[in-house]
Amino acid sequence: MSEKSYYITTPIYYVNDKPHLGHAYTTIAADVLARFKRLQGHDVFFLTGTDEHGVKVSQSAKAARLSPQEFTDQQSAIFRMAWDILDISNNDFIRTTEPRHEEAAKKFLLELFDKNLIYKDKYEGLYCVGCESYKTDSELVDGKCPDHNIEPILLSEDNWFFKLSRFNDQLKKLIEKDELLVRPVARKNEMLGLLKQGLEDIAISRQKVDWGIPLPFDKSQTAYVWIEALMNYVTGVGFQDDKKRFQQIWPADVHLMAKDIVKFHALIWPAMLLGVGLPLPRQVFAHGFFTVDGKKMSKTLGNVIDPVEISEKYGVDGLKYLIIREISFGEDGDISLGRFDERYNADLANGLGNLVSRVLAIAGQREFETDYSQSKDFEQQVKLTWAGYEQAMTDLKFNDALDSVWKLISSCDKYIEVKKPWELSGDGLIPVLTNVLEAIRQIGWLIQPFMPLTAEEILSQLKVYDTEKIKPLKDIQAWGGLTGKLALSKGEALFIRL
């Protein structure tokens, strides 16, 4: 069998609302990773989708005067369209209302039931509809859920429970030893802290929620939305009906999300997998939360940013660059549209865009044969850039990877300032032009995972995109790829100054 696919997931987003910049952030980051891994030659499978059951969604459907199915069809399509517009390269899009998911989720639940990991008991406690999750008193602030600023409801039902507590010690060992990699380390420690307190069994069904998947062993109850949603990671890759495909893709190499839902992914989901005897994901990575101008994005504050809307201002690639560059991946951050504007002009219009256009303007004035006789320092610098970049990408430090590319861009600018190619001609000019053009080719590939459209444009202006896109990364990285006689011309500006 061929090498196992590299499998990347995002959370499946609730359809009660439209996609906002927070959803886009995770999805863009996953896309960056997917594209980088493809560049490295991996067979990538990148899955995203929508989470469509539960109280919150059915309430929103009611408010929209639609049936839950009509409402989720409409909302899920909006997510799908947003990712299309943002040029996200997901290989599939899963909806939890699809038959493939419902069937597979039932199979998974039945396996847990058959393994005697599910039992019936009375549940009494608090439930936050915003989080779609149960709350303990200690998680509340002034009696309210701090994330949603609403009071949880008191639930008292007969529910089915999953024996989560039984996996406590096993999970602790796996996470401690990094056999289940939870990153960044702060999140690993947070999970170990929860395991130290001890996990309790959790309710996995709801008695009074119709909008859900009926339990295969008790049709009077539906599966608790979180339990069923987590299963999308296996139901989307053939768990129920395609063993060969499933083995080719599962386990996930990275489950990506924000820190709000890491407990579900690093504790509950692995316990469920251990329960049915499936391999665990290799890494659970939770990035931080960002605020907008220091405030949480919220409808009440009216500061929710629509990613599609702002991609019209900065371009799809511009938006991807800005959001990834502004926040240190893995940590909390803050964004402001004012800073986006400044950075767009400085880094994209004046930085990358200007470099490409001024060099191609000079190169376009003549046909010439490349000359690498004076490129030792340059070659070394590009090599070092790739080394730092690849390490950063492997560690999911996406903003650091971009930092290293922009250092290379400013070195090229400095080199041009020192060499003054506009004052040179003939033998003096060609080696200088060759160096910067080759550096630009490499920059084109370095930015490709982040800004695929811009990369294609740059590499097309250099007339190498079509031939190089099929080459292995090590060939692309080899210095001197731009070779032979060059007849180039200045193309359209990559970024228009705001």
Catalytic residues: 20, 23, 128, 131, 145, 148, 296, 299
Given the rule CB under 6 A, which of 7-15, 382-390, 393-401, 470-478 is the region that contacts ligand MSP? Answer: 7-15
List all residues 6 or more positions away from 355 whose beta carbon is below 8 Å from its beta carbon: 409, 412, 413, 416, 436, 440
Given the rule CB under 6 A, which of 83-91, 148-156, 253-261, 470-478 is the region that contacts ligand MSP? Answer: 253-261
Under rule CB under 6 A, how many of the chain's residues touch ligand MSP?
A: 19
| Closer CB to ligand MSP, 11 or 388, in the complex | 11
Given the rule CB under 6 A, which of 8-16, 170-178, 369-377, 463-471 is the region that contacts ligand MSP? Answer: 8-16
Site for ligand MSP in 21-60 (CB under 6 A): 22-23, 25-26, 51
Strands 118-128 and 153-162: antiparallel
Question: Cβ of residue 20: shortest distance to ligand MSP, in angstroms?
Answer: 7
Question: Cβ of residue 14: shortest distance to ligand MSP, in angstroms?
Answer: 4
Instruction: Dump the DSSP string for 143-212.
Output: TBBTTTTBPPEEEEEEEEEE-GGGGHHHHHHHHHTTSSEEESHHHHHHHHHHHHH-PPPEE-EESS--SS
Please state, in angstroms and rounded to a whole number, the distance separating the CA atoms of residues 235 and 107: 10
Given the rule CB under 6 A, which of 165-173, 229-237, 433-441, 470-478 is the region that contacts ligand MSP? Answer: 229-237
What token pair was written down for 364? 């376009």
26-52 burial, b for 16+ CB within 10 Å, e for fewer?
bbbbbbbbbbbbbbbebebbbbbbbbb
> Pick from 162, 211, 289, 495: which binds ligand MSP (CB under 6 A)?
289
| Closer CB to ligand MSP, 112 or 230, in the complex | 230
Q: Is 14 in the site for ligand MSP (CB under 6 A)?
A: yes
| Closer CB to ligand MSP, 93 or 289, in the complex | 289
> Pick from 94, 126, 297, 432: which binds ligand MSP (CB under 6 A)?
297
* 398-419 vs 316-326: helix crossing angle, rounded to 10: 110
Q: Contact, 321 vs 402, CB < 8 A?
A: yes
Q: Is 229 in the site for ligand MSP (CB under 6 A)?
A: yes
Q: Is 261 in the site for ligand MSP (CB under 6 A)?
A: yes
| Closer CB to ligand MSP, 127 or 479, in the complex | 127
Please give the order of strands across the beta sheet that includes 118-128.
Answer: 133-135, 118-128, 153-162, 202-203
| Closer CB to ligand MSP, 30 or 459, in the complex | 30
| Closer CB to ligand MSP, 333 or 491, in the complex | 333
Question: Cβ of residue 330: shortest distance to ligand MSP, in angstroms?
Answer: 11
- DSSP single-letter state for residue 334: E
Give the 3-state secondary structure of residue 368. strand
Q: Is 230 in the site for ligand MSP (CB under 6 A)?
A: yes
> Pick from 110, 258, 304, 305: which binds ligand MSP (CB under 6 A)?
258
Helix H or strand E encompassing 99? helix 99-114
Given the rule CB under 6 A, which of 107-115, 258-266, 416-424, 431-439 is the region that contacts ligand MSP? Answer: 258-266
Strands 44-51 and 6-14: parallel
Please state, in angstroms and rounded to a whole number, the distance separating the CA atoms of residues 177 and 475: 37
> Pick from 7, 13, 250, 329: which binds ligand MSP (CB under 6 A)?
13
* One-letter amino acid for residue 187 of the chain: R
Question: Cβ of residue 454: shortest distance to ligand MSP, in angstroms?
Answer: 24
Q: Is 239 in the site for ligand MSP (CB under 6 A)?
A: no
Place of tokens 């506009």: 422
| Closer CB to ligand MSP, 285 or 445, in the complex | 285
Burial label, 108 (beta-carbon count in 10 A; 0-12, 13-18, 19+): buried
What token pair was written down for 44? 């990538």
Site for ligand MSP in 113-172 (CB under 6 A): none
Given the rule CB under 6 A, which of 147-155, 191-199, 256-264, 469-477 is the region that contacts ligand MSP? Answer: 256-264
> Pick from 8, 12, 323, 396: which binds ligand MSP (CB under 6 A)?
12
Please state, in angstroms and rounded to a whole number, the distance separating the CA atoms of residues 77 and 352: 35
Q: Is 11 in the site for ligand MSP (CB under 6 A)?
A: yes
Given the rule CB under 6 A, which of 12-20, 317-325, 424-432, 439-447 is the region that contacts ligand MSP? Answer: 12-20
In the chain, DSSP finds a helix count (H) and a strand count (E) of 21, 17
Question: Cβ of residue 410: shortest distance to ligand MSP, in angstroms?
Answer: 29
Instruction: Dump the DSSP string for 227-265.
Output: HHHHTHHHHTTTTTT-HHHHHHHPSPSEEEEEGGGHHII
Q: Contact, 255 vs 45, CB < 8 A?
A: no
| Closer CB to ligand MSP, 14 or 321, in the complex | 14
Please state, in angstroms and rounded to a whole number, the distance separating the CA atoms of residues 63 and 469: 48
| Closer CB to ligand MSP, 29 or 416, in the complex | 29
Binding site for ligand MSP (CB under 6 A): 11-14, 22-23, 25-26, 51, 229-230, 232, 257-258, 260-261, 289-290, 297
